[in-house]
Each structure stands twice: as C-alpha cells, then as structure tokens.
Amino acid sequence: MIVEQIRVLIADDHPIVRQGLEIVINSQADMRLIGQAADGNEAVVLIRELKPDVIVMDLKMPVKNGLSAIEEIKKSDQKTPVLVLTSFTDDDMVISAIKLGANGVMLKDMPPEQLLDAIRDVFHGRSFLHPLVAQKLMLKIQHSATPVPVVHMLTNREIDVLRCLALGLSNREIAYKLSISTRTVTTHVRNILDKLGLDNRTQAALYAVEHGIEKKSAT
C-alpha cells in the first residue's frame, strides 16, 4: 500500500533545531523532509525550487526574517500552507505572521506528536493555533487595546463558531460542542471567512481574540 507523503520544508537558523525536525518528520511514514533553509532568503529560493506541501518557518532568522519570507511566499503562492515555529518571545511577530497569512502557529517546546499533528492539519486545509498561543495573544490584546465591537454582519451561530475557532477546536470538536453537523460547521467557517475578508481559520481565531469574541458563550 502506497502512503501519500507530505513533503515538508523547514526554515530555521539553528542547526540543532533543523536536525531535530528532520529526525521527527522522517520518522513518519506519511511525511518526508525535502529541504532545509537557514534563513528566510534561502527558504524563499528553496520553496520555489522544491514546491513543498508544507513549510515550517521560524520567525527570527538572519538575512531575511520569517515575516518577510511569509509575505513574499503568500504573494506568489496562497495555497502552500506555512506553519510558524516559534519560542513565542515576540508576540507582535506572531500576530503579524498570522495577518500575513500563516496557516498555523506552534511552539518549539511542543511534544513531537503535536508538531506532526499540526503539519497534517495545515496540509489538509485546516489551521493550527496552539491553545497557549491563543491564550497569550488574548491577554496581550486585552492589556494593550480596547476591543473593537463585533461586526454586526455575523449571525449568532457564526459568532459561536468563531469563538470555538479562537479556542483552537477542530470542525469535529465544534460540531460536537454546538450539536450541529461537521458539514454545517464547514459552511459557517467559510461564511465567516468570506464576511470578514480573512484567508484562513488562524486569522479568524486571531480576529476573535482581538474583538473579544472568545468571551462570549457558545450556545
């Protein structure tokens, strides 16, 4: 039986981190590491040459940082998912990465199993926002700015779904929590993205945090 392999490219300026990621990724039957970059500029070049299925990107790198690399990648290729790898020392960089189109955010101290799940999530069109990241973003935004009122264009059910996205729940988990079908959840997520002019679920989760939607109770 032939197993579909997710072709992964990693970008991180620390050789030890790259070596660890290589071991973890290549240990999986459904994944294969096809390239490594030590800075953002090298990452952009390799991505164009190798056309990976998923990009694992650090934010703080020399020559060209992760933010500049993500911006350049997303301008030329909206489809290839970018999974941000961070130690979360700079909240503003993480927020900027999401707004530039990053499809997920994971922490460098995550267990290998969570890293692998995150790669699979973004490969299959889902987004990954680690709950600790969402929580820290929420606290930062709450203490730095007055929440902007929720736009009136969302229905109550869409707000419920958006709140669940901010909690990092999958479509199946949202369906269970709200007692609706996964197909209905998918429809709501698509409508939310269209109405708010967002590109992916991760941006929607950040939007929910910024606008205080995570405080509302799902019904």
CATH topology of domain 146-215: Arc Repressor Mutant, subunit A (1.10.10)
CATH superfamily of 6-129: Response regulator (3.40.50.2300)
> Tens digits of per-residue pLDDT, 92-147?
788 888 888 899 898 888 889 989 999 998 998 887 777 777 766 666 655 555 44
Q: Across residues 42-56, what is the average pLDDT? A: 95
Domain ranges of the chain: 6-129, 146-215
Place of tokens 């020559």: 63
Alpha carbons 8 and 51: distance in angstroms, whole number: 9
> Tens digits of per-residue pLDDT, 118-132?
999 899 888 777 777
Q: Which DSSP symbol is given to 77?
A: -
User: Residue 128 forms beta bridges with which residues?
Assistant: 104
User: Residue 54 forms beta bridges with which residues?
Assistant: 8
What lies within 8 Å, CB to CB, of 64 at 6+ separation is 39, 40, 41, 43, 44
Alpha carbons 174 and 41: distance in angstroms, whole number: 38
pTM: 0.70
